Structure 1
């Protein structure tokens, strides 16, 4: 297995922050390059069979935002999609027609996608600032003590930011006043330069910290529960690196998540108890419905697990080594993007092909989303595409 490691320039913390925060933050982007021994060539992607559309879907509209930060998925609030480009442009797009509702600048290059509650949008810039925008105008910005790769989570008139070291910082949505910070006590020496996991379940903020899902009181930042999905393993810092990444699947109180190249598991977020976990070797988020949880593995396999007990329902290697995005389950389909801008629609029953949609030829970033009646995908080069049933 070959790993690519990048070390990013550390951010000098504010005066008054404990001395431990002044240590250099090493950010490891550990990407699986080969399933074989180091130095061997990556296997060729599986060839694509001729597309036979068994379900009718067509492109309804297209928009453009500019090159997108890695892993910056579009964020959906009702019928509105919010996307951010690497140059700091943030756009709210009407999913019914693909037209801008508003478009504004964060004032600096963006390093995350944008989060929104449908009214307030927020993004993190390369200056380590969280910037809040409303109706196309900058409302406030606030300094962060470290880097971030995860889009801010906006809910309950607050903005929550998950940093690269997986500490959580809460800000008042109207003023930008810092409300609290939840700082991990056992920060690992390496962290992933990938978007992490953050969502709300009832009155609990649920975040990924290391290999655990953690329930946090959104009012004061105190921890309510912790549930391990994966544990560190190996003999060195790289091998022991474990973190929850990307999109999750939530049905009611049950949240299923991916631990980077380690496991997929489900947690009851009302009790903070692990329901099941299964070994899995993927680097992107997951999705699911009331019956299945689906994820793409590092080698391009697509695997479906039964939501009730984690037993494998099916897997397909039709898209092997095609560098897949996180999937989206919608209707009878599982939709997953590849690094050539294709959207593959597969049967939720067995992973067989149903249709293949094309975009602009650049990689699908993050995961496809459903906004209103539109299937929406964003590409690395900044294309925003909406598809609908014929």
Structure 2
């Protein structure tokens, strides 16, 4: 029997993941945490169960923010909106479908993807189901909502764009993908009338949001090895737009900065990245596949510092907290690092289950979810100083 592409890739990835996990246990044990001198303490505000978690981190069910609400999703289909200050449940909606794609909240709407190849759109105020669309396969990346359109990326190399007004498909793009890929998908970023996303062949491309016409395409990763596994070049991290430039990174490839209008490189540096990038006015912060946290100069791409204190601890992408970055790890710790030096300045242990995605930082709170289905909302330790 000939397997479909989804089953074939998933089967191969299970084998690769198991082999890699065994190898890491023997060759690359997670680094023990060193004692640090803490510059400030971090306090919990509230903790709630948000449903069944994703222990294997195969799904990217990160929450979304909308005004005073945190919207979460669990793998069994439960969508919940919490009051960010009190933790009180504002509404709950059970889609009764396995979810896989993370939550997006924008323009008064919530959008989430399922393993059953659907994207559901809800009212952000009361959780009412408004409409849904069918796509070609499971949705592993957050949908994008921008300029009156819903944009969906699927792991089979396709992009779908729908009108929010009519719920009709406006355009569609199809890209052939390699036989063997990582289990993940670069989310589409929609901004200023442009859609940008990465593909499993190592390419990054920009499209006109209204028409779907391709504006430019560039290579982020290129196959380098002789085996099929070593030649995996997925671009799974979500691109970041900052000051008319696009920043992105790929697996077994590069971290890059390019002109958003034409795709021309500003700089390109060797890197292997699957977690989300963080970009601020001075630097690009990335977490590579070995667990190193690296700061690069935003304009030149030159390395500013590298922190190896979380090697093989599966750190999350970095979140911005004023003069610090925040990352989680596989044992349930959140770490604060100085943006200028990369030194650890604070740490808190949330639980033993591991942080499930890039933390979210607001003026008053730091938000993290764990792989077993808990949401932790902490008091932002810098909130007082930011108000002075």
Mapped to 1, the partners of 2:241 and 2:274 lie a distance apart of 19
Classify the secondary structure of the residue corresponding to 1:41. Answer: helix
> Alpha-carbon deviation of 1:100?
2.9
Mapped to 2, the partners of 1:300 and 1:103 lie a distance apart of 36
Contact 2:9–2:179, Cα closer than 8 Å, also in 1: yes
Alignment match of 1:60 (pick from 45, 68, 81): 45
Q: Cα deviations across residues 260-289 of structure 1 (Å, max 9, x unaligned)?
A: 232211122123222112111333221121
Classify the secondary structure of the residue corresponding to 2:43. Answer: strand
Q: Cα deviations across residues 167-219 of structure 1 (Å, max 9, x unaligned)?
A: 101122255322221112x4322332113132123111111123222111111
Mapped to 2, the partners of 1:255 and 1:76 lie a distance apart of 23
Alignment match of 2:328 (pick from 321, 331, 337): 337
Mapped to 2, the partners of 1:372 and 1:273 lie a distance apart of 35
Classify the secondary structure of the residue corresponding to 1:26. Answer: helix
Identify if the C-alpha distance between structure 1 residues 175 and 326 changes in structure 2 by more than 3 Å, giving closer, same or farther.
same
Contact 1:260–1:284, Cα closer than 8 Å, also in 2: no
> Alpha-carbon deviation of 1:39?
8.8
> Alpha-carbon deviation of 1:321?
1.7
Normalised by the length of structure 2, the TM-score is 0.87
Contact 1:153–1:161, Cα closer than 8 Å, also in 2: yes
Say whether 1:296 aligns with 2:287: yes
Matched residue, 1:26: 9
Matched residue, 1:179: 170
The within-5 A match list for 1:205-220 is: 205-209=195-199, 210-220=201-211
Normalised by the length of structure 1, the TM-score is 0.87
Matched residue, 1:145: 136
> Alpha-carbon deviation of 1:34?
6.1
Alignment match of 1:72 (pick from 37, 61, 81): 61
Mapped to 2, the partners of 1:389 and 1:366 lie a distance apart of 18
Mapped to 2, the partners of 1:197 and 1:168 lie a distance apart of 10
> Alpha-carbon deviation of 1:109?
0.9
Contact 2:363–2:380, Cα closer than 8 Å, also in 1: no
> Alpha-carbon deviation of 1:78?
4.2
Mapped to 1, the partners of 2:45 and 2:25 lie a distance apart of 42
- Unaligned runs of 5+ residues in structure 1 are 1-6, 12-23
Say whether 1:223 aligns with 2:208: no
Matched residue, 2:311: 320
Say whether 1:43 aligns with 2:33: no
Classify the secondary structure of the residue corresponding to 1:97. Answer: coil
The within-5 A match list for 1:180-329 is: 180-184=171-175, 186-209=176-199, 210-329=201-320
Mapped to 1, the partners of 2:286 and 2:370 lie a distance apart of 19
Matched residue, 1:156: 147
Say whether 1:358 aligns with 2:345: no
Say whether 1:95 aligns with 2:84: yes
Mapped to 2, the partners of 1:90 and 1:386 lie a distance apart of 17
- Unaligned runs of 5+ residues in structure 2 are 382-388
Matched residue, 1:109: 98
Identify if the C-alpha distance between structure 1 residues 270 and 97 changes in structure 2 by more than 3 Å, giving closer, same or farther.
farther
Contact 1:261–1:283, Cα closer than 8 Å, also in 2: no
CA RMSD of aligned residues (A): 2.6
> Alpha-carbon deviation of 1:253?
1.6
Identify if the C-alpha distance between structure 1 residues 269 and 31 changes in structure 2 by more than 3 Å, giving closer, same or farther.
farther
- How many residue pairs match? The answer is 370
Mapped to 2, the partners of 1:258 and 1:207 lie a distance apart of 11
Mapped to 2, the partners of 1:33 and 1:73 lie a distance apart of 27
Contact 1:165–1:191, Cα closer than 8 Å, also in 2: no
Matched residue, 1:21: none
